[in-house]
Structure 1
Amino acid sequence: MRTVGFLLLLLLVIIAARLAGGTAGRVAAEESRKSASEDLAHFIGELEKFELASSRRQQALRDTYVSELQEGGWESLFDAGRIKQDVGLAETSRIVNRAKAALGKFEAGVLASMETSRQQINALEISDRERSTMLSSFDRGAKASHETLALEHRLILEAESVVSLLSSNTSWAVEDDRFVLQDPELRRAIGARFQEMDAIALRQQKIYEGANSDALAR
């Protein structure tokens, strides 16, 4: 009987140990899930704060750039009435130069902002995997920004080429606030440049739409 009693006691001890182990396992699993959930919430919070700060910097730079273009007369660059009064196109050339200066300032600000963003990502208290995810997303945005800047340079250069064509050719006039281009070659050359500017503007719009789509997807 003592043997039976001993075996029964041993069995009860084993069962109790297994039950305790199972409970501990469930507790550990629950704590693991809770920790993972907290880590995800932390990552999302850091990501949202980073994107908000980055977006505000970029928007401030863009607003300043657009304001400087407007103040420099960019919107009236090819206004026929204004050009009619601009002897030798001196003011027209100054408008282009002011636009170049504004773009140079804007580009420097964007590049500095991107470097700040990269440093901030590297300083975040997140896992290496999460950092890699953020950097990949950041690099895609940086690529789009570089392309947009390049297109902006091309746009101003195309506009400058139109001014150069007008400056070096006298076979044009402004009548009833419209350009009249008597020289077919001049008409073709200027038309080609305006078509290129339209294509550049369209490409920029697609980049912006793509960036907005990525933001909404996140």
Structure 2
Amino acid sequence: MRGPAAPPPQPGWALKAATAVVYAAILAWSVFSRGPEGLQAVAMLALGYAVILGLIVFAALAFFSLWRRFRTPRNRARVMLGLGVFLLAAVVPPFAEHNDDNRQRDIANAEIRKAIDTLRQQAAGGSGAPEDVPAIDPAPRASGPYGEMERVMKTVAGARLAQHRAYLQELQEIGLPRLFDARRLARDTGLIESRLILEQAERLVPGYRRQSLDVLNGMPALVRSLTIADAEKDKILAALQTSNAASNAKLTRLWDLESQILREFGQMITLLDDNRQYWYADKNELMFGRDGDLRRFRQHQESVSRMVGEQEQLGVQSLAAVPQAPLR
């Protein structure tokens, strides 16, 4: 008679430990490469990936069980270890690359949104003080092709903000923000200083108009310099070409309004000059002795307010000149 059958070979501690380490590494990398926030997110991801790993292992063991030699506990452990090593070597690297690609895209999109939001705040009025116009560092936080796109977008946004800051600075230096300061007007004999301020401001407009259009029209060259796929370049260039005429028209209209506002200011100064004896400065306020003069002055103010409102709307709309669709 035969004795009792020998027990099937069991996996040794080294095999068990190696298998546990490999699968723990796969699970940990799978979870934390997604950048979960909070313990609940970590737990949910860990559970999900554990189920997926379990199904993969179950399928592999079921397949190898077709051969008798792989039905022993030790050989099953070997199959699991081999599968784990295969997953680490063959699946994790490309998945890691894809995951990093997604992460760089998200970083670039977030940085581009911040730059666009900064532009939008300035286009919607801002404080009007040059020192309050922020600077944008064009250095990308993302890497690779997404970092290149981020760099171009931040370069364009930074250039537009720098021009806006420089324009406000020059207006401040020539005294335009204080043009209708009541005390200054009261001291301005013949309103000569006021007319000089307006004349200097009007001379600034053509140069800054040209600079802003140059930035807009220079975007295609920046896009062509990107180290991204030609197909992506073509899509961006097509979007720019589609919006170029409208964007140029809006930007031109914005500067036309700037000239009209300055001319409206000139009419207000003329009104004050022609009726000098009927108004005076009471601390920081202009006081009019005749209702007709006050009414005409307020009409000019309302015209300026309407044009400024249109400028702000055009400024926001002109952001369409910058491709804002999320990078994919």
TM-score normalised per structure 1: 0.69
Structure 2 matches for 1:1-218, cutoff 5 A? 47-121=149-223, 126-127=230-231, 128-177=234-283, 178-210=285-317, 218=326
Unaligned runs of 5+ in 1: 1-33
1:166 deviates by 1.4
Contact map agreement 1:172 1:179 (CA 8 A) in 2: no
1:199 deviates by 1.4
3-state secondary structure, aligned to 2:180: coil
Q: Specify which structure has the bigger relative contact order, considering alpha-carbon pairs within 8 angstroms and separated by 6 or more residues.
A: 1
Aligned residues: 182
Contact map agreement 2:281 2:287 (CA 8 A) in 1: yes
Structure 1 residues 150, 72: CA separation in 2 closer, same or farther (over 3 Å shift)? same
**d(CA) in 1 for partners of 2:221, 2:156:** 12
1:55 deviates by 1.3
Structure 1 residues 170, 130: CA separation in 2 closer, same or farther (over 3 Å shift)? closer
Structure 1 residues 80, 72: CA separation in 2 closer, same or farther (over 3 Å shift)? same
3-state secondary structure, aligned to 1:179: strand
TM-score normalised per structure 2: 0.48
Structure 1 residues 91, 52: CA separation in 2 closer, same or farther (over 3 Å shift)? same
Contact map agreement 1:61 1:110 (CA 8 A) in 2: yes
Residue-by-residue CA offset, 1:26-80 (whole Å, 9 max, x unaligned): xxxxxxxx9xx9xxx8875554333222112111111100000011101110000
Which region of structure 1 is more displaced relative to structure 2, 115-124 or 145-154? 115-124
Structure 1 residues 204, 217: CA separation in 2 closer, same or farther (over 3 Å shift)? farther
Aligned-residue CA RMSD (Å): 3.2
1:105 deviates by 2.2
Normalized per residue, the structure richer in helix is 1
Structure 1 residues 141, 205: CA separation in 2 closer, same or farther (over 3 Å shift)? same
Identity %: 19
3-state secondary structure, aligned to 2:275: coil
**d(CA) in 2 for partners of 1:173, 1:152:** 27
Contact map agreement 1:121 1:135 (CA 8 A) in 2: no
3-state secondary structure, aligned to 2:218: helix
Contact map agreement 2:175 2:197 (CA 8 A) in 1: yes
Residue-by-residue CA offset, 1:160-179 (whole Å, 9 max, x unaligned): 11011112223422142332
1:209 deviates by 4.1
Contact map agreement 2:251 2:315 (CA 8 A) in 1: no
**d(CA) in 1 for partners of 2:184, 2:214:** 37
Contact map agreement 2:190 2:273 (CA 8 A) in 1: yes
**d(CA) in 1 for partners of 2:319, 2:236:** 22
3-state secondary structure, aligned to 1:131: helix
1:87 deviates by 0.4
**d(CA) in 2 for partners of 1:136, 1:45:** 25
Structure 1 residues 130, 207: CA separation in 2 closer, same or farther (over 3 Å shift)? closer
